[in-house]
Amino acid sequence: MSETAAPTVAQAPLGGRPVRPPLPTWPLTVVETFDVTPRMKRIVFSGETLADFVWTPAQDVVFRMTDETGEMVRRHYTVRLHDAAAKRMEIDFVLHGHGLAADWARAAKPGDEVIVAGPRGNTTINKDADWHLFTGDETCIPGVFAMVQSLPAGAKAFVFLEVQDAGEEQPLDAEADVTLTWFHRNGPPTPGSPDLIAAFADFVPPDGRGHAYVIGETSTVQTQRRGLIAKGWDKSQISAEGYWRPGRLGGHDHVRDDH
């Protein structure tokens, strides 16, 4: 059972910063694991309380893990699928170099137990947009696919994704009208992703008001956001979030004007 009620944002007294109550927590047990691609491992979890889990596509949960010093640390992972009736949740882990979570996922096996908190995150579909533009690297595929698959038939989505090579591409079944473009960097992630940035910069928007979801490595996100603003996009049309950054352990970066 969750420890707390669904999250809300409360105002601190005397006009201070908003105080967020702790997120509900969910004890999970690994029931199945398999390789989605050579560098992406899907872990299927069960949890008695998952029948009560309510999320919006692309929201994440925060894994509570113990590092080598015994300290509790947090890692964010997007909910790829949630089945309330079956009390199951699926999460896709990128097996990048070495990190606490990536190493945990590599070794995960049925019976392993974890605790996650959530759901959280505001990088979710803007329902008022006429069309949608998504961009990111492997870490964003779970979120981008979940968002695109939540769009109704007739919705228009343009997706630019950077992966290591052709073996990392995944099929995307969606009702929406989707134009999906893959980029192969043919090596490990390069902050700044020049090919992705160049292709994104050349994007010619259709008529109507679009919304861009720019997520992934922080410096790439910063460059793409600045590029869109330079092309006349209003800041309110862009959701930008840094999912990882060289040297950063866990966490996430809000990408705003001061970055």
Ligand X SMILES: Cc1cc2nc3c(=O)[nH]c(=O)nc-3n(C[C@H](O)[C@H](O)[C@H](O)COP(=O)(O)OP(=O)(O)OC[C@H]3O[C@@H](n4cnc5c(N)ncnc54)[C@H](O)[C@@H]3O)c2cc1C
Positions that interact with ligand X (CB under 6 A): 60, 75-78, 92-94, 96-97, 99-102, 121, 139, 142, 189, 243-250, 252
Instruction: Name the residue nearer to ligand X (CB basis): 11 or 122.
Output: 122
Place of tokens 């097996």: 95
Instruction: Name the residue nearer to ligand X (CB basis): 145 or 200.
Output: 145
Q: How far apart are CA 225 and CA 206, in angstroms?
A: 18
What minimum distance in Å lies between the beta carbon of 113 and ligand X? 18
Phi-psi group of 145: left, alpha or beta (phi > 0 → left; psi -120 to 50 → alpha; rest → beta): alpha
152 cis-preceded (ω within 30 degrees of 0):
no
Instruction: Name the residue nearer to ligand X (CB basis): 156 or 245.
Output: 245
Residue 155, CA distances (Å) to 71, 90, 182 in order: 45, 25, 20
Q: Whose CB is nearest to ligand X?
A: 99
Cα three-residue angle 117-119-124, rounded to 5 degrees: 150
Are residues 238 and 228 in contact, defined by beta-carbon separation less than 8 angstroms?
yes
What minimum distance in Å lies between the beta carbon of 108 and ligand X? 12
Give the tokens for residue 147.
């968002």
Instruction: Name the residue nearer to ligand X (CB basis): 131 or 164.
Output: 164
Instruction: Name the residue nearer to ligand X (CB basis): 131 or 147.
Output: 147
What minimum distance in Å lies between the beta carbon of 15 and ligand X? 28
* Exposure string for 39-51, b = 16+ CB within 10 A, e = fewer: bbbbbbbbbeebe
What minimum distance in Å lies between the beta carbon of 38 and ligand X? 14
Q: How far apart are CA 133 and CA 156, in angstroms?
A: 9
What minimum distance in Å lies between the beta carbon of 235 and ligand X? 20
What minimum distance in Å lies between the beta carbon of 245 and ligand X? 6
Instruction: Name the residue nearer to ligand X (CB basis): 131 or 252.
Output: 252
